[in-house]
Amino acid sequence: MNWNRHSDLEGSHAFLSASKYHWVNYDADKLADSYKSFLATQKGTELHEFASRCIVLGQKLPKSQKTLNMFVNDAIGYKMQSEQVLYYSENCYGTADAIAFRNGMLRIHDLKTGKVPAHMEQLMVYAALFCLEYKVKPGDVNMELRLYQNDEVLFHNPEPDEIAPIIDKIITFDKIIRRIKEEA
């Protein structure tokens, strides 16, 4: 058999792909909702890339109460690093949208482009990862976490007793995963 070559598509997946076969059970409305969600996810990825590029270039956006503008302008104003990986192990790491550590103050900002309400726990995990990677005790730093979503900014200044249990859980769960990997 001479197979048709589709080298430009290798490694990619169509929306209606065999590997994501659940669509065969959808009706037209469910398909439309699912595809709109897919498009929103793509747009969110593009907005994150755009925001990161603006931060790296120091290009502020017009001052407004729009989520993206506030996120970019605040990150630039606080001289934050964009898209910074925080690493504890191959089992636990993540990428902070914007982060800075200066004069004993850890700032972590997260851009949310979806409609589902965001949760501060994600930023607290980033804070825990920062503490683990850079060997900083949560009580030795001040922290300000910000979520940017739906044209609002949510602030949280976690106490050390909020971050310490996350650190402990990361360490414990990482050990469990490592043990399972060794046994496999």
Q: What's the predicted TM-score (pTM) here?
A: 0.89
Residue 55, Cβ density class (10 Å: 0-12 exposed, 13-18 middle, ≥19 buried) = buried
Cα separation, 169 vs 1, in Å, equals 54
Residue 58 scores a pLDDT above 90: yes
> Taking the domains of the chain in order of start, what are their residue ranges?
80-183
Return the bridge partners of 81, or none.
Answer: 99
Query: What one-character DSSP code corresponds to residue 137?
Result: -
The neighbour count for residue 105, using CB atoms within 10 Å, is 12
pLDDT in tens, 111-131: 999 888 889 999 999 999 999
Q: Which two tokens stand for residue 17?
A: 């792909």
CA 99/CA 87 separation, integer angstroms: 14
Helices in 93-143 by DSSP H: which ranges?
Answer: 121-133
- The least confident of 9-18, 55-64, 99-108 is 9-18
- 23 secondary structure, DSSP code: G
Q: What pLDDT digit, counting tens, does each position of 24-43 carry?
A: 999 999 999 999 999 999 99
Residue 115 token pair: 């409609």
DSSP category for residue 116: S
The answer to whether residue 5 scores a pLDDT higher than 90 is no
The more confidently predicted of residues 34 and 20 is: 34
